[in-house]
Amino acid sequence: MVTSEVAVVAPKERHARATLIRGVTGVLRWLERFPGDTWEQRWLSSGADSAPRGWTRAASADNDPLNRQKELTNGAFCLIHGRVIRPSFAWLLINNHGQLDRFLEINDPLLARLRELPAYGRGLLRNRRDAEHCLARC
C-alpha cells in the first residue's frame, strides 16, 4: 500500500508533510488515468519516464491546484524514495535535484560503504554521482 511507503519517507514537520502529501496525491491521481496493474507500470504508460523534463507540465495540465509542478516533482521523489515508482537511469540523472542522497540513505545500507572506498573518494564528482544513481536504480 502506498501509504506505508510514503509514511516512512515523509518529513515529520506538519506543513512540509502536508505539502508532500499533496504532491504524492497529485502524481497518483494523474497516474490513475493510465493503464497498468502497478504504479510503476502506470508511470511507464504515462510517458513520464521518457519525458523527464516535461512530465509535470502534462500532469498539471488540468489546472488542478493540487498539481503544482514543484509539488508533483517532490511527490514523485517521495514515491521513488518509497520504491513505489522506479524511473529509468536517464530520468534520475536529469531530475536528481539533490533527492537521491535521501533515497540512498533510506533504501541502501551500502551507500556508506561505497563512500568509504578509497577509489570512490578519488573519483570525479560526476563519476561518484553516477555510481550513486546506479545504486538508486537497482
pTM (2 decimals)?
0.72
- Classify the C-alpha dihedral 25-67-75-15 as positive or negative: negative
How many domains are contained in the chain? 1
Q: Are 137 and 86 in contact, with CB atoms under 8 Å apart?
A: yes
DSSP notation for the chain: -HHHHHHHHS-SSHHHHHHHHHHHHHHHHHHTTS--SSHHHHHHHHTTTT-TTTHHHHHTTT--GGG-HHHHHHHHHHHHHTTS----HHHHHHT-TT-HHHHHHHH-TTHHHHHH-HHHHHS-HHHHHHHHHHHHH-
Q: What percent of the chain has pLDDT over 90?
A: 20
**Distance (Å, rounded) from C-alpha 19 to C-alpha 40?**
22
Domain that holds residue 53: 2-137
Q: Are 25 and 75 in contact, with CB atoms under 8 Å apart?
A: yes
What are the pLDDT digits (tens) for 17-34?
Answer: 788 888 898 999 999 999
Q: Say what the pLDDT of residue 33 is.
A: 95
Is the pLDDT reported for residue 98 higher than 70? no
Nearest to 42 by CA among 27, 61, 24, 63: 27
What are the pLDDT digits (tens) for 29-60?
Answer: 999 999 999 999 999 999 999 988 888 888 88
Is the pLDDT reported for residue 135 higher than 80? no
